[in-house]
Amino acid sequence: MAVFGNKNKTYDLTGIKVPVSLGVIMDGNGRWAKKRLLPRSAGHRAGAENLKELCRNCGNYGVKYLTVYAFSTENWSRPEDEVHQLMELFVEFFAKYDPELEEEGIRVRFTGDIASLPEHIQKVCKEGEERSMHRQKMQLIVAFNYGGRRELENATKLIATKVKNGEINPEDITEKMISDHMYLPDVPDPELIIRPSGEMRLSNFLLWESAYSELWVSETLWPDFGYDELTQAFRDFANRDRRFGGLSAKEKEGKA
Ligand code: IPE
Ligand code: IPE
Ligand code: MG
């Protein structure tokens, strides 16, 4: 039985098949704030604090790639001051918590249409990635100005340019080639996607990569989503029958 402790938590890995690659849609900040009669910005702040906790827990559980949805290509449609607050919170998070991420051995990467972000945000992304390249325990991949359709649009343009330049023929295009033209081709597809706050949708998150992801939704709002629920999600994931269009292991053995 593999049990170990870290800062008053016990990570009990018995019976838990932890996903190597995990996606989390950090939703529900607004509702969390509303319940407390606070402005939405307070919810976003609480959500950012909770990300630090998720990183620590995932790192200690043995997750290798944690992709979190922080700002979608559709989130620009929110009021200007909310968008501004989210951008500034993003800058603040990495300024404030990078030493802790360093201590935890967490490398930071970004996925999304980063080139369209304001210059100072792009700088935070670049510096955060460079500063953390050597960290080995886990990769935190922040989906910022991310949209699954935007990512596919980008991949299509890259491939179409290669066809136009005569580097490849249309018949050479394969699923593998499309995967290789996603923003971060070396990051494995998420085995599990967790969405707090109850919505049963992907909201444009990792559309290509989530083809066979297990989905796990909880009613808890993101700022309240903690260690116990993460543990429950992993336990449920370990019991899922992932068939990938084939037969389950039991059926293959003729036992079902
Ligand atoms: C998630 O919380 C944060 C972002 C989408 C940036 P929301 O702001 O969507 O919170 P709800 O869904 O309104 O509660
Ligand atoms: C998804 O949440 C995006 C992020 C958490 C960053 P939204 O709140 O934007 O999604 P919808 O609008 O409920 O689909
Ligand atoms: Mg929301």
Mean pLDDT for 187-212 is 98
Catalytic residue among 27, 29, 60, 189: 27
Which residue ranges have their beta carbon within 6 Å of ligand 2?
25-27, 69-72, 75, 199, 201, 203
Catalytic residue among 29, 57, 60, 75: 75
What separation in Å is there between the alpha carbon of 222 and the centre of ligand 1?
9
pLDDT of residue 15: 64
Calculate ∠ Cα 193-196-202, nearest 5°: 50
Measured from the CA of 86, which atom of ligand 1 is nearest? 6
pLDDT of residue 1: 45
**pLDDT of 225 higher than 90:** yes
Q: Which-ligand-closest: CA of 77?
A: 2
Which residues does 1 contact at the CB level (< 8 Å), separation at least 6? Answer: 12, 13, 14
Q: What is the pTM of this model?
A: 0.95
Q: Which pLDDT tens digit goes with each residue over 58-108? A: 999 999 999 999 999 999 999 999 999 999 999 999 999 999 999 999 999
Q: Which residue owns the Cα nearest ligand 2 atom 10?
A: 203
User: pLDDT over 70 for what percent of the chain?
Assistant: 95
**pLDDT of 253 higher than 90:** no
Tell me the HSE value of 102 on the side-chain side, using a 13 A CA sphere: 11
pLDDT of residue 2: 56
228 part of the active site: no
Ligand 1 neighbourhood includes 75 CB (under 6 angstroms): yes
User: pLDDT over 90 for what percent of the chain?
Assistant: 90
Mean pLDDT for 11-24 is 85
Ligand 1 neighbourhood includes 86 CB (under 6 angstroms): yes
What separation in Å is there between the alpha carbon of 191 and the centre of ligand 1?
23
Q: Which pLDDT tens digit goes with each residue over 130-184? A: 999 999 999 999 999 999 999 999 999 999 999 999 999 999 999 999 999 999 9
**Pairing assessment for the beta strands 9-12 and 3-6 based on DSSP bridges:** antiparallel
Strand segments (E) across the chain: 3-6, 9-12, 21-25, 65-72, 106-111, 138-146, 192-195, 214-217
pLDDT of residue 6: 60
